Amino acid sequence: MPVFTRNDVELFYEDNGEGQPLLLLHALTSNSAMFYREMDFFKQTRRVIAIDARGHGNSSRLEQYTLQDHIEDALALIDHLNLTTVDVIGVSMGSYIAQGIAIQAPQKVNKLLLVATKSHSEQASLTELFNRYPEKFDGLSIPEKISKATRYIYHDQEKVKEWNKKTAQNSRLLTNKEQGIAGDAIKEFDFRPQLSNITAETLVISGKHDSLNPPEKGRETAVAIPGATFMEFKRSGHAPNVEQDRLFLGVTENFLD
């Protein structure tokens, strides 16, 4: 697994295949290993690059960092690899990083796929979920809330459980403290005033049953990006790429081609 260093921070990434570069940006507390299906599928026809964001996977674990750090790390990787343009797929946290890249360096992004996304946040997504359903979560301990929340986040629990298990087998997991640091980095942001600057052809995919980043937030993001298309997967929650993986790969391949 290759590594490059930016400002004394080690950033690991996968780099496989040949052709048009495709950059994969993972979700909060996960890492590049979550894209095992996508990497196997797209490396047959493309150069597939997947970074471990700082604080995640095999990259440096830090006491503090920001969403802007994630964005600048990804842009630094693009420059490090001497890539002129890339296609970008970002899932959840990865989709926030992807928006930042497409806003700050629009000339570098050819096609943009945002999955389980939103364009602004004032508090942690889980906190927002707990506040949205007070009758379901009030009075529960934090572990009880988190355990119960999965049914509001994902639709196909078994597929997600299998995916998480396989991802964990091939990656270094985060401690509770590291998870808190990672969550704080994306707690507050607002890309809405800048979404009109995105020039990449854009597709936004949300899961119908996603209560973490509900479809209306994905639709709001798509409406604000010039010419963007919105799709809602009917049998998915917060992980359409997992819960309806065959549909996701087919739609993505068609979009990228």
Structure tokens at 193: 């005033």
Q: How far apart are CA 221 and CA 241, in angstroms?
A: 19
Residue 143: pLDDT over 90: no
**DSSP assigned state of 61:** P
11 Cβ contact partners less than 8 Å away, ≥ 6 residues apart? 3, 4, 5, 51, 52, 53, 54, 59, 60, 73, 76, 77
Residues 210 and 129 in one domain: no
Residues 136 and 229 in one domain: no
Residue 1: pLDDT over 80: no
**Mode of pairing for the β-strands spanning 9-16 and 3-6:** antiparallel
Residues 200 and 241 in one domain: yes
pLDDT computed for residue 201 by the predictor = 98
Residues 185 and 81 in one domain: yes
Residue 84, number of CB atoms within 10 A of its CB:
9
Residues 129 and 36 in one domain: no
Q: Which neighbouring-strand residues pair with 230?
A: 204
Q: How far apart are CA 191 and CA 224, in angstroms?
A: 10
Residues above pLDDT 70, as percent of the chain: 100
pLDDT computed for residue 40 by the predictor = 97
Residues 132 and 242 in one domain: no
Kindly report the average pLDDT of the chain as a whole number: 96
pLDDT computed for residue 147 by the predictor = 84
CA dihedral angle for residue 166, residue 168, residue 172, residue 177, rounded to 10 degrees? 160
Q: Which neighbouring-strand residues pair with 13?
A: 51
Name the residue type at position 174: L
Write out pLDDT tens, residues 208-254.
999 999 999 999 999 999 999 999 999 999 999 999 999 999 999 99
Last residue of a domain, one of 113, 137, 152: 152
Residue 30: pLDDT over 80: yes
Write out pLDDT tens, residues 111-140.
999 999 999 999 888 888 888 889 989 988
pLDDT computed for residue 224 by the predictor = 98
pLDDT computed for residue 160 by the predictor = 96
pLDDT computed for residue 172 by the predictor = 86
pLDDT computed for residue 177 by the predictor = 94
Given a contact cutoff of 8 angstroms between Cβ atoms, the answer to whether 252 and 113 are in contact is yes
pLDDT computed for residue 23 by the predictor = 98
SS3 content of the chain, % helix, strand, coil (to 5): 45, 20, 35
Which of 23-32, 44-53, 145-154 is predicted least confidently?
145-154
Exposed, middle or buried by CB within 10 Å (0-12, 13-18, 19+), for 10? Answer: middle
Given a contact cutoff of 8 angstroms between Cβ atoms, the answer to whether 74 and 23 are in contact is yes
Residues 131 and 220 in one domain: no
Residues above pLDDT 90, as percent of the chain: 87
Residues 210 and 91 in one domain: yes
pLDDT computed for residue 154 by the predictor = 96
pLDDT computed for residue 123 by the predictor = 86
pLDDT computed for residue 251 by the predictor = 98
Residues 142 and 23 in one domain: no
- Could you tell me the CATH number of the domain that includes residue 205? 3.40.50.1820
Q: How far apart are CA 30 and CA 25, in angstroms?
A: 10
Write out pLDDT tens, residues 181-190.
999 999 999 9
Residue 80: pLDDT over 90: yes
Residue 172, number of CB atoms within 10 A of its CB:
14
Write out pLDDT tens, residues 152-180.
999 999 999 999 999 998 788 899 899 99
Residues 143 and 222 in one domain: no
Number of helices followed by number of strands (H, E) in the chain: 11, 10
pLDDT computed for residue 171 by the predictor = 84
> Domains in the chain: how many in total?
2
Residues 166 and 145 in one domain: no
Q: Which neighbouring-strand residues pair with 114?
A: 90, 204
Token look-up 């999965």 returns 150
Q: Which domain holds residue 142?
A: 125-152
Residues 242 and 148 in one domain: no
